Structure 1
Amino acid sequence: MKQLIFLLAFLLPLLTTAQNKSNALDINLENYAYPYPVSFLELEDQQQSLKMAYMDVKPAQHNGKNILLLHGKNFNGAYWRTTIQALTKAGYRVIAPDQIGFGKSAKPQHYQYSFHQLAANTKKILDHLGIRTTAVLGHSMGGMLATRFALMYPGVTEKLILENPIGLEDYKTMIPYQTIDNWYQSELKADQTSIKNYQLKFYYDNKWKPEYDEWVYPLAGVTQNKQYPLVAWNNALTYDMIITQPVVYEFAKLQMPALLIIGTRDRTALGKALAPKEIQEQMGRYDLLGKATQAKIPGSRLVEIPNIGHLPHIEAFDRFIAPLLDFLKPAP
């Protein structure tokens, strides 16, 4: 047994290194390891059968509470690794799905993307697992989805947490309309360099750390696959969903306890480069948007993290997880 443990300890770092250095990834990330076991739910959706991936991570001692983690557009459920570890240690059962079109989930040829549809798909996972109530945490695009989920299923959503969500402003009023074909052609040009440069500029304020490469790899590796155009097409469809389906006008309808965790250095805004220069400077001002959004959500809390960008749970985990765990605690 000791020899086996020693062998695993020796091999796992080598396997991880090999994974990080590999060029091409399967478009459903079949050759990319997630931090926890992945299950699949078969969805009969829009006249087709689609597999939706999710991690269901149970703590050693369940405190009776659950939390649903909703990923951003440029990510998948795997980037919640340290968040899941901390939440399960605190006794929470964690469900982290990959939305259709993302991560290990199906990439359909044709799909009518909407936040309503993605929320309904996510609810089916909870129903499958027998989970009736849960806290919901959404990051980036996942914040828009979490908002829609909470509006559609207020009885299921015990608490709502938005971590640097996009959609705090109405992008379609700021940029010229782009057809799905426009978005598609733009996505076809993506490669490791462009993906890393985008994250460097908008997520990390031109201050790169080697550990950030881990979250470039799943996106860049897929661009090397000959089936990447299908991924690019799904990416284009979800861009259109984000631009044309704002949630910013409905924040006042949220009734459950809500927490905003905002890295104030963030300047992320979809389509910013397409806007006139004077408007670009106004877009994605999270140092202002956090406060404006808190004012719209009744009784909500705001935790601002100065000098942190779009990914607090990656860039400043300790400053992210402390207010999250505090907010999740039952009221005395």
Structure 2
Amino acid sequence: MGHGAPTRRTALKAALAAAVLTAGCTRHGPSDDARAPHGGRTPDGRTTAPTGSVLAVKIDNVGAARPQTGLDSADVVYAEQVEGGLSRLMAVYATRLPAVVGPVRSARESDLELLRQFDRPTLAFSGAQRKLLPLIDRAPLRPETPDTASGAYYRDSGRPAPHNLYLRPARLMSGAPGEAALTTGFRHGPAPAGGTVTTTRTVRYPVARFTFTWSAARQCWLVSMDGTPARTTAGRRVTAATVVVQHVRIRTSEYHDVLGNYTPFTETVGTGRAEVLRDGRSFEATWTRREATDATTFTGADGAPVDFAAGQVWVVFAKS
């Protein structure tokens, strides 16, 4: 008996430590996340439209917009370059809807091509360049802005505009559509053989950057943006189970902002080089998406699919 008690205590400590490690890279937090109701009515009694597809939200990513809310609940986070060399995020939700997401900002032409991989997704955004609006209206998606769904959005008086617009997803959708709606082409499974030990990876835009640092203790990548550790509004570090650096062609579109800065167009249809970061290693891959309605596949040098780790995926589009 005298030797058994310490053994049990040791086993208990090990189990608790394992639980902490498992929870370290979780997407869901109690303070700024909640399951969406599966009923068809909002808290104010309005009926929501049913959806079998994902919710995509354009999220502000300048310093004044941080910390963001609901980002850690997304299944996929896309990072793209926008005007002036800045960055913006698109968070995609399928398995869980957070109570609040934001700050919400405007859409770009590249979003329309990227979202074609989903079946009529809901796109939540604050607005768009005037000449782009007709393209959004004709796109095979469900656009939702404060003009069309005012009850789903609100302004946070504690933040300056335009970095204070927030979305309540439960007022747009009757529930999370589920994992089957994630028609991205991403495969999850055991890590492939080989790879290169990687502790940190930075992707730079002209005036923005993303850094992903491997945490062996938490078994995930810690996200930093513009040199600052990214945190949720609840104070937790933003993490990713898998990071994809997808090298793409970025060209100038015909649209520009009010200052005359032309919007970059990120081409996500085609093929090119990619780096898949998981489990503290980097794996070289080739990405392929032949048509806009196709998913994106990632294959290794042997032609076999490169599987992602279970959990949130960050895809950062880098200029090839």
Q: TM-score, normalised on structure 1? A: 0.27
Give the structure with the higher percent helix.
1
Higher normalized contact order (CA 8 Å, seq sep 6+, divided by chain length)? 2
Q: TM-score, normalised on structure 2? A: 0.28
Give the structure with the higher percent strand.
2
Higher gyration radius (CA): 2
